[in-house]
Amino acid sequence: MPEPLTVTFPPAFLWGAATSAYQIEGAVREDGRTPSIWDTFSHTPGKTAGGDTGDVAVDHYHRYRDDVALMADLGLTAYRFSVSWSRVQPTGRGPAVQVGLDFYRRLVDELLAKGIKPAVTLYHWDLPQELEDAGGWPERDTAHRFAEYAGIVGEALGDRVDQWITLNEPWCSAFLGYGSGVHAPGRTDPAATLRAAHHLNLAHGLATSALRSVLPGRHQVAISLNSSVVRPLSQDPADLAAVRKIDDLANGVFHGPILHGAYPESLFEATASVTDWSYVRDGDLATVHQPLDTLGLNYYTPALVSAGTAEAGGPRADGHGGGDHSPWPGAEDVIFHQTPGERTEMGWTIDPTGLHELIMRYSREAPGLPLYITENGAAYDDKPDPDGTVHDPERIAYLHGHLSAVRRAISDGADVRGYYLWSLMDNFEWAYGYGKRFGAVYVDYATLARTPKASAHWYAQAARTGTLPPARAAV
């Protein structure tokens, strides 16, 4: 089959990779860091595969210079990382621990010295345990504590970092952390799920204001949403109504107030049996509805739904773990179906058309707002060959397909300015432990040695040339 015509990206397009603090740093008890909810959750028997924890992870805290050198060797022009709240502000309140901030200062300096643009995510799911003990995200005060923390980090790094992301995938924090319980803190309370979602929105708005009060004028403030591409099983009106319900719970609950200053009325109707939303106070929506400089979109796979009952539908095929509790409050009458096609090791269907659809949706939802793909990638069962090389042609094909979808969206008028591959290297994959490898760089967990996979070399060629090599080019 002939390869498609050369796909060329704009000259200023950012070629990045992404990670998060708890998944890579390790050093969980060093330099004043205290436990986060993921430390507690991963140390609770039965919560993670094999009892795996992020205690060591891939030891990035001690190996960051080597890791940045590896990024430079791969031709990356941007790197998105998250800050550990517990490392900077161990109790989630009060003064910062400077030695914790110093780690991120050194990391940023190292990146800039190699010509790599840093993008800082303030929150990637690792709430300080003391704040969870005080109620966590369902409590309003947590949003105010987050704004204080955002100001601390912004003041420390704002002279060197232009790109800021307040929250990564707040849907996961609220709906998997407090609804299905498959993520930390592992609670299963539908009403608390929606309270958490609102307070995460409020945290974003308050943190955006806090950042802008301390950052230089050139900054860009964003949020990264894992907005779902929700498709109906059929065009039956009942199935279309199911799509609307899940779209509200997956997407509208965040982009409604953030982009438009209001929650969807249909969301209130669908969840009336769960909550009365009385925690949404006067002025909250104006606080949440801060103008964004850019918007981050994370995409992995679409969802396929129909009307029905959970009993009729069998196991919930929504891609968010097999917990006994649903992360979808008020949606007991919706069935999730496995989408057809090839799948990754996560069981997620490979469908680049969903990424194109997502980009074009947000181009319409927020015209004039620049977009970044802040996460996209795939897990495969990667293993080194006898000579130590790691061939991963499936990941190369995945990246080729999804980057082609990005370029098609740009051709269709979308203002997409960069792509962050998930992930730079294999790491702790939350409740799946170390069993799922998303990295472009292979990590031997026994020695922590790093080996770029064939996909890393393929991506490096794309980054250096601004064009996509053939999918078969497993260098």
* Active-site residue set: 169, 375
Q: Determine the Cα–Cα distance for residues 6 and 462; give it in Å rounded to an integer.
A: 11
Q: Under the phi-then-psi rule, with left for phi > 0, alpha for psi from -120 to 50, and beta for the rest, what region is 381?
A: beta
3-state secondary structure (DSSP) of residue 247: helix
337 three-state secondary structure? strand
Query: Around Cβ 102, how many Cβ atoms within 10 Å?
Result: 12
Is 125 in contact with 168 (CB distance < 8 Å)? yes
Strand ranges for 37-172 from DSSP E: 78-82, 117-123, 163-168
**φ, ψ dihedrals at 442, nearest 5°:** -80, 135
3-state secondary structure of 128: strand
| CA 144 from centre of chain | 22
C-alpha span between 388 and 274 (Å, rounded): 53
Phi, psi of 407 (to 5 degrees): -65, -35
Among 184, 190, 180, which Cα is nearest to 44's? 184
Cα–Cα distance measured from residue 408 to residue 319, given in angstroms and rounded to the nearest whole number: 26
Place of tokens 């060329």: 8
CA 101, 13, 227 angle in degrees (round to 5)? Answer: 70
Sheet strands (E) in 142-298:
163-168, 220-225, 230-232, 295-298
The one-character DSSP state at 259 is: I
CA distance 313 to 84: 39
The answer to whether 379 and 438 have CB atoms below 8 angstroms apart is yes
* Other residues' Cβ atoms within 10 Å of the Cβ of residue 379: 24
CA distances from 395 to 230, 268, 294, 358, 416 (A): 24, 40, 28, 21, 22
